Amino acid sequence: MLFKDKVAIVTGGSRGIGRSLVLMLAEEGADVAFTYAKSVQEAEALSAQVKQSGRRALALQMDAADFDKAKELIEEVKAGLGRLDLLVNNAGIIKDKALMMMTKEDWLSVIDTNLNGTFNVTRNAIVTFLKQKSGAIVNITSVSGVAGMSRQTNYAASKAGIIGFTKSLAREVAPYNIRVNAVAPGFIETDMLAGLKEEFKEELKKRIPLSRLGRVEDVAGAVKFLLSDAAGFITGQTIIVDGGLFIQ
Ligand code: NAP
């Protein structure tokens, strides 16, 4: 077990990639706290599943954009689960539109959830990591933040911001034995892709060298590696998990 008796936080754990991260961490022996926005039933079911596997779970309903709630999250995790070792900033939303149609609200809500949400939890967790001189952080960005994508100026800006945040923080906290990396998924089959037409998905598969869309487990595999000691000399990096779509 890679993370036996460690304590991890996953933001946006109730569905999709976050859910698979929670299950992966529990399978590898960690106790897991996760946040979610609205999916109460899914969160309860996931907590029960983690507990059945013999690990502790803590589910917290909070808006990623809320700094004070992020502070409470860290306090609750330390009080309830006793420590904090691993953090995955995963909560994210899209509000895709051509820029000329994008409202200020479309712009701000995406930046607030994705980029400010990453700041909010990390800012509150970093104090613990600095004090204990250990910790590993993985931020979920996107190929959109690396290559850009039409109708995603808000999302791409938030995700490119996360990459800059990751690189800067990695340099800042490396002397304290804290590693900070990012994973940039390509097209992964979750609710986030629900708006894509089947024909578009088929076209996409033809353009992806590995000829399929990604699975949540593909992302969890990269996160597992980056959080583990196997990645002990890796910090400030972004691993792209996209089946080769954006090979550079
Ligand atoms: P998803 O299936 O839509 O799940 C999003 C998760 O984030 C849910 O748990 C949701 O909670 C939570 N969340 C949304 N807004 C939140 C908020 N304001 N505060 C707290 N939690 C919030 O999305 P996904 O596809 O798993 O995406 C996960 C991450 O991967 C995101 O950062 C996304 O940008 C990134 N990503 C995804 C893809 C893809 O193709 N799927 C590609 C590149 C990057 P509720 O269930 O309560 O709504």
Cα of 75 vs centre of ligand 1, distance in Å, is 23
The DSSP result for 47-83, as a single string, is HHHHHHTT--EEEEE--TT-HHHHHHHHHHHHHHHS-
176 is catalytic: no
2 found inside a domain? no
247 found inside a domain? no
1 found inside a domain? no
Cα of 12 vs centre of ligand 1, distance in Å, is 6
| pLDDT of 248 | 84
Q: Contact, 86 vs 30, CB < 8 A? A: yes
Which position among 155, 183, 216, 219 bears the catalytic label?
Answer: 155
Q: Ligand 1 atom closest to Cα of 143?
A: 43
Q: Contact, 31 vs 8, CB < 8 A? A: yes
Atom 2 in ligand 1: residue holding the nearest Cα: 16
246 found inside a domain? no
78 found inside a domain? yes
50 found inside a domain? yes
**Ligand 1 pocket by Cβ (under 6 Å):** 12-18, 35-39, 42, 63-65, 90-93, 113, 140, 142, 185, 187-188, 190-193
Residue closest to 139 by CA, chosen among 112, 111, 167: 167
Q: Residue 179 forms beta bridges with which residues?
A: 136
Please give the distance of CA 200 from its chain centroid, rounded to a whole number: 26
| pLDDT of 97 | 97
Q: Give the tens place of pLDDT for each residue, 201-237.
A: 999 999 999 999 999 999 999 999 999 999 999 999 9
Residue 102 has pLDDT above 90, yes or no: yes
Average pLDDT over residues 57-67: 98
86 found inside a domain? yes
User: pLDDT confidence of 53, banded at 50, 70, 90?
Assistant: very high
- Per the prediction, the chain carries an average pLDDT of 98
Residue 57 has pLDDT above 90, yes or no: yes
Is pTM beyond 0.85? Reply is: yes
Average pLDDT over residues 93-112: 98
Which residue out of 188, 193, 201 has the highest number of ligand 1 atoms within 8 Å of its CB and is therefore the one to mutate?
188
Q: Give the tens place of pLDDT for each residue, 105-116.
A: 999 999 999 999
Q: Give the tens place of pLDDT for each residue, 131-171.
A: 999 999 999 999 999 999 999 999 999 999 999 999 999 99
| pLDDT of 235 | 99
Determine the structural domain holding residue 88 and report its residue range: 7-241
CATH of the domain at 200: 3.40.50.720
Number of domains in the chain: 1
| pLDDT of 176 | 98
